[in-house]
Amino acid sequence: MLESNSELEPQPGAEPLTVESAIANLSSPDTSLRYYASWWLGKFQIKDSRAIDALIQALEDGDDRTEMGGYPLRRNAARALGKLGDRRAVPGLTRCLECDDFYVRESAAQALGLLGDSSCVPQLMALLKGGIEAAQFVPGRPHLVQPVEAVLEALGALGATEAIDLVRPFLDHSVARVQYAAARSMYQLTRDPIYGERLVEALQGNDVQLRRSALADLGAIGYLPAADAIAASPVENSFKLLSCKGLLDYHLGETDDPMSPDAIKLMTLMDNLL
Amino acid sequence: MIRKRDNRDRIAKVPPHEDSMIATDPTIQSLINAVEAADSPAKLVGAVHALANVRSTEAIPTLIRALGFNNPGAALAAVSGLVALGEVAIPELLAQIDGYNYGARAYSLRALAAIADPLALNVLIKAAEADFAPSVRRAAIKGLGQIRWQQLEPTARESAQSQALNTLLFVAQDVDWATRYAAIVGLQSWLNSADLVDRSRAIAQLDRLLQTDSDGAVRARAALAKQQLS
């Protein structure tokens, strides 16, 4: 079974699902059908309340286990609930932040960041306890003790200004992606351009994966002054297009004016990235 | 390894241009050698830049190969070199579209789109409608709007413009926002360049996207297209 947090892609030859059969499969005795159905419901945005109820229940599943003790179905259910936007999932997802499976905690933190309900902020903050000294790699594993990237991003997305002092030290974490997550979060919590500029600097880094990651962060925070740097960064056009789209969406959300000079500038940059 | 995706044996499969592999001008040969010898991503970008800047037809095969080096800086330099060469680069670009490397394919389509020769029409239509890689589709869709129609005789021109329009109207209904966005850009330039075909269907499609599309960025781009066309 998967020990990473990669998304399950549809298997060739997998049964084509309908809304009804996917919901039915969530209570199938076959855990692989439940696993697939929970991915499918999230992917295709099925907001049927029966699906939500079944997915919330799946957050407590104990049948589907990996050799290392992970809970694949809980991970997928958490991810799906993040995409479905129903805040009834918040209490269950908040409990998942204490699950002993790292990837369940990570998926839950990501989902909570998307749902926009800040009642989970204290539990998210608890995962940053011990600061950067505690946030080290688990020996032999590809991840840190806690999913700090996801937690930092969720706190930023939820506007948890009470977490600022807890988030700031992560700007100096040894892992670059964690630094970016902290910069992204700090920008959202303070609107201080100094943090946006840190992400702009990251566009000139040596590692293309990190440049892509910074592009995604800039898109997520809608940092408009980065537009030209995004368009000029040495990364594939697809990533730059998505990042500019993030800026444009954010800008349209604020101004609702597609003909503003900034909107036109962003669209001109996007046209050149096609 | 900086050239993981480089597929050297493809070069050998293009017999009509085999002789052009050895450049007759020693300066150009040394620039080609520098591309071959580059042992860091930065040196590769510099070497491709230098080769692109000489504007020599002898550089074409090497520039096309540089589209597949999995180095965006080198690929962009190669695209601008090929576009500057224009028409003479088209036969080899068409012959060497890399079916196995969608990154390289997107750059080839961008070069073909920018050269805008009607010879590329069928390749652009096929890529716009059916390539599995969204980046390739977007490049082709944009290219369909900006072909230099005046290079065709009136009858052929009308048929070519109509084919391009049909493809643009089709891809404007795609599920992917970025494909619809590209379709708007394509429709806008098609409306600016096409002269012989009924324009009302293109305008109706832009209106539909402006009023009913689920994506705010797509609606915004349709609004911009309408404003710039009026």
* 3-class secondary structure, A197: helix
A79/chain B closest Cα distance in angstroms: 21
B73/chain A closest Cα distance in angstroms: 6
Taking Cα atoms as reference points, which of A185, A183, A193, A189 lies closest to residue A224? A193
pLDDT (0 to 100) of residue A234: 84
* 3-class secondary structure, B131: coil
Distances from the Cα of B145 to the Cα of A239, B110, B117, B166, B212, angstroms: 23, 13, 12, 11, 23
Verify that B146 and B205 share a domain, yes or no.
yes
Q: How confident is the model at residue B3 (pLDDT cuts 50, 70, 90)?
A: very low
Q: What does pLDDT average to over chain A? A: 91
ipTM confidence score: 0.82
Are B217 and A271 in contact (CB < 8 Å)? Answer: no
Verify that B7 and B84 share a domain, yes or no.
yes
Verify that B77 and B152 share a domain, yes or no.
no
From the list B138, B177, B220, the residue facing A263 with the nearest CB is: B220
Verify that B55 and B127 share a domain, yes or no.
no
Query: Which element (helix H / strand E) includes A100?
Result: none
pLDDT digits (tens, 9 = 90+) for B149-185: 999 999 999 999 999 999 999 999 999 999 999 999 9
Q: How confident is the model at residue A205 (pLDDT cuts 50, 70, 90)?
A: confident
Q: How confident is the model at residue A4 (pLDDT cuts 50, 70, 90)?
A: low
* 3-class secondary structure, A15: coil
Q: How confident is the model at residue B1 (pLDDT cuts 50, 70, 90)?
A: very low
From the list A252, A270, A271, the residue facing B216 with the nearest CB is: A252
A43 touches chain B (CB under 8 A): no
pLDDT digits (tens, 9 = 90+) for B119-143: 999 999 999 999 999 999 999 999 9
Task: Flag whether pLDDT at B12 surpasses 50.
Answer: no
Please tell me the distance from the alpha carbon of residue A224 to that of residue B154, in angstroms, as a whole number.
46
Within 8 A of B105 by CB-CB distance, chain A residues are none
pLDDT (0 to 100) of residue B27: 85
Residue with tokens 């298997």, as numbered in its chain: A11
Verify that B124 and B103 share a domain, yes or no.
no
The predicted model gives B81-91 an average pLDDT of: 94
Show the tokens assigned to A243: 């990042």
pLDDT (0 to 100) of residue A14: 58
Domain final position from B115, B138, B171: B115
A193/chain B closest Cα distance in angstroms: 24
The CATH number linked to B162 is 1.25.10.10
Domain final position from B115, B131, B151: B115
Are B72 and A235 in contact (CB < 8 Å)? Answer: yes
From the list A242, A259, A274, the residue facing B223 with the nearest CB is: A259
Domain final position from B62, B94, B115: B115
Query: Containing domain of residue B212, as a range?
Result: 119-230
pLDDT (0 to 100) of residue A158: 97
* CA triple B96-B110-B154, angle to 5 deg: 90
Please tell me the distance from the alpha carbon of residue A199 to that of residue A185, in angstroms, as a whole number.
11
Percent with pLDDT over 70 in chain B: 90
Verify that B132 and B224 share a domain, yes or no.
yes
Are A271 and B142 in contact (CB < 8 Å)? Answer: yes
Task: Flag whether pLDDT at A229 surpasses 80.
Answer: yes
pLDDT (0 to 100) of residue B128: 96
Verify that B59 and B104 share a domain, yes or no.
yes
Please tell me the distance from the alpha carbon of residue A260 to that of residue B2, in angstroms, as a whole number.
42
Are A274 and B182 in contact (CB < 8 Å)? Answer: yes
B10 touches chain A (CB under 8 A): no
pLDDT (0 to 100) of residue A141: 87
How far is CA A26 from its chain centroid? Answer: 24
From the list A241, A242, A264, the residue facing B224 with the nearest CB is: A264
Verify that B1 and B67 share a domain, yes or no.
yes
Query: Which residues does residue A144 pair with via DSSP β-bridges, in sequence order?
Result: A137
pLDDT digits (tens, 9 = 90+) for A49-60: 999 999 999 999
Number of domains forming the structure of chain B: 2
What one-character-per-residue DSSP string does B100-161 give?
T-HHHHHHHHHHHHHH--GGGHHHHHHHHHH-S-HHHHHHHHHHHHS--GGGS-HHHHHHHH
Q: What does pLDDT average to over chain B? A: 88
